[in-house]
């Protein structure tokens, strides 16, 4: 099995979840997967078969929000 490393960008199904999604999260439409930056270490990911991630978006509607921080991704 391949485990993500800290800093990887992954697309994951976060079901079940609490709250609601601004973009119309609907399992019947197949849009339940979201992008995350992996924050946990490889050792944690491998031993728990889970990861701790920070959700990310490409939407501009969050600009100006004090909790919004743009990130730059380098393609190698």
Residues paired with residue 54 on neighbouring β-strands, in sequence order: 37
Q: Which residue has the tokens 């921080």?
A: 69
On the question of pLDDT at 53 being above 90, the answer is yes
Q: With contact defined as beta carbons under 8 Å apart, do 68 and 41 qualify?
A: no
On the question of pLDDT at 4 being above 90, the answer is yes
How do residues 6-44 score in pLDDT, each as one tens digit?
Answer: 999 999 887 666 555 555 566 666 667 788 999 999 999
Would you say residue 53 lies in a domain? yes
Would you say residue 75 lies in a domain? no
**Where in 1-76 does DSSP place strands (E)?**
9-13, 33-38, 53-55
CA pair distance 71, 11, nearest whole angstrom = 16
Rg (CA), the chain: 14
- Structural domains of the chain, count: 1
> Which residue segment(s) compose the domain that 57 sits in?
9-62
């Amino acid at each position: 099995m391949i485990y993500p490393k800290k800093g990887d960008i992954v697309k994951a199904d976060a079901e079940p979840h609490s709250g609601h999604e601004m973009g119309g999260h609907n399992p019947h439409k197949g849009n339940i997967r979201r992008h995350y930056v992996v924050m946990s270490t490889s050792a944690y990911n491998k031993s728990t078969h889970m990861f701790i991630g920070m959700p990310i978006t490409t939407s501009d509607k969050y600009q100006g929000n004090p909790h919004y921080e743009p990130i730059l991704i380098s393609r190698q």
